[in-house]
Amino acid sequence: MKETLPAAQRGIVVAVDLGDPRRPLEPELEEFEALVRAAGAAVVGRIVQRRDALAPSTLVGSGKVHEIADAARDLGANVVLVLNDLRPRQRKGLERAIPVPIVDRTMVILDVFARHARSREGKLQVELAQLRYRQSNLIGAGADLSRLGGGIGTRGPGETKLEIDRRRIAERIATLKEHLEHVRRQRATRRAAHRREPLVALVGYTNVGKSSLLNALARTVSPSKGALVADQPFATLDPTVRRVYLCAESSVRVVDTVGFITDLPKDLVAAFRAPLEELGEADLLIHVTDASSSDRERQRRAVDAILHELDLDRKPKLVVLNKIDVTVAPPQANGALEVSAKTGLGLDRLRAEIGRACSARA
């Protein structure tokens, strides 16, 4: 029997460039388009407006609003994806003038998370974050959502379409919190059983190769056993722990966590607070960076900012420059340990450094 595939999503990406020299638009725009693709939509157009300030009622100027509506029609787009986060009033203003659904960056990220959540805890967290975002942004249920007709902004972590009635959202949020509390207590008990071995946490921007590095360190050969590796943002949502042998007699546990991103939406930070707080138990953090990315500096700053927010900036930390097989001589390596999860280069040194850092703690 043939299945009818849902109509492919074709999106127009819209961004306002505020011309902040400390925040060039291009890398953020490219990252946003990668997120859109990870959420399953194709980018068929890009409209950028340079402004000194965001328009309070429509984000972009009124002329631009019409340009977007025309482009959506001409290019056969069925969703408009906005890089800047939208206030409820701006969302309404755009919705009034543009006949396709309006989806902002936070909704896209939530959508990618919904697609990638695997564990029960991950799914509960994502659903909670989605409902909170709807609640605080007055994104309607029912009628408004059916307008989205499936696709980005409507996907729940399971098979469910997010169609919960607004007055039931609060109830559902309370239930989700209870379930999460229960799952977390179980995990805390499991964790207590492992306390004696040092815990090392891999942190870093999304897609830098944290899961690949975990697999390489743990020498996971079977792809089904290892952490999931994929060339897309937020492949990993659920923490994976593996035992890594530093030498024949000594081992540590290494945990691979959800990747970070600039301006991680606050509903997501709240949802992932508990798993990230477990990083507080780590004896050592390994900050993984991507030698092949021209965006490395911006990414490094974003990760440092989140580590600071999570009160983790005083933890012992090793900085690792991964994917060194791709670039010959990366500029500004700043004494970072050069490794390649792909070729195995530098991994023995990394093991030795982990051992040194962990025994210094003991």
Contact residues for ligand GTP, defined by CB under 6 A: 206-212, 229-231, 233-236, 259, 322-323, 325-326, 340-342
DSSP secondary structure of 181-212? HHHHHHHHHHHHTTTTS-EEEEEEBTTSSHHH
Residue among 48 and 269 whose Cβ is closer to ligand GTP = 269
Distance, in Å, from the CA atom of 192 to the CA atom of 199, rounded to the nearest integer, reads: 12
- We find the least distance from the C-beta atom of residue 254 to Mg ion, in angstroms, to be 13
If contact means CB under 5 to 8 A according to the sort of partner, which of Mg ion, ligand GTP, none does residue 208 touch?
Answer: ligand GTP
If contact means CB under 5 to 8 A according to the sort of partner, which of Mg ion, ligand GTP, none does residue 117 touch?
Answer: none
Contact in structure between 233 and 34 (CB atoms under 8 Å):
yes
Look-up: residue for tokens 């964790």? 191
Provide the binding-site residues for Mg ion, judged by CB under 5 A. 211, 235-236
If contact means CB under 5 to 8 A according to the sort of partner, which of Mg ion, ligand GTP, none does residue 233 touch?
Answer: ligand GTP
DSSP state of 175: H
DSSP secondary structure of 34-61? HHHHHTTEEEEEEEEEE-SS-BTTTBS-
Take residue 316 and report the two structure tokens written for it: 């012992």
Amino acid letter, 107: M
Distance, in Å, from the CA atom of 38 to the CA atom of 15, rounded to the nearest integer, reads: 19
- For Mg ion, the nearest residue by Cβ is 236
Residue among 94 and 227 whose Cβ is closer to Mg ion = 227
Residue among 126 and 235 whose Cβ is closer to Mg ion = 235
Residue among 151 and 346 whose Cβ is closer to ligand GTP = 346
If contact means CB under 5 to 8 A according to the sort of partner, which of ligand GTP, Mg ion, none does residue 209 touch?
Answer: ligand GTP
- We find the least distance from the C-beta atom of residue 109 to ligand GTP, in angstroms, to be 12
Residue among 77 and 235 whose Cβ is closer to Mg ion = 235
Strand 41-50 to 199-204 pairing: unpaired
If contact means CB under 5 to 8 A according to the sort of partner, which of ligand GTP, Mg ion, none does residue 325 touch?
Answer: ligand GTP
Task: Report the candidate in 39, 13, 38, 37 with the shortest Cα–Cα distance to residue 25.
Answer: 13
Residue among 113 and 133 whose Cβ is closer to Mg ion = 113
Spacing of C-alpha 224 from chain mean position:
22
If contact means CB under 5 to 8 A according to the sort of partner, which of ligand GTP, Mg ion, none does residue 342 touch?
Answer: ligand GTP
What is the three-class DSSP state of 243? strand
- We find the least distance from the C-beta atom of residue 255 to ligand GTP, in angstroms, to be 12
- We find the least distance from the C-beta atom of residue 258 to Mg ion, in angstroms, to be 8
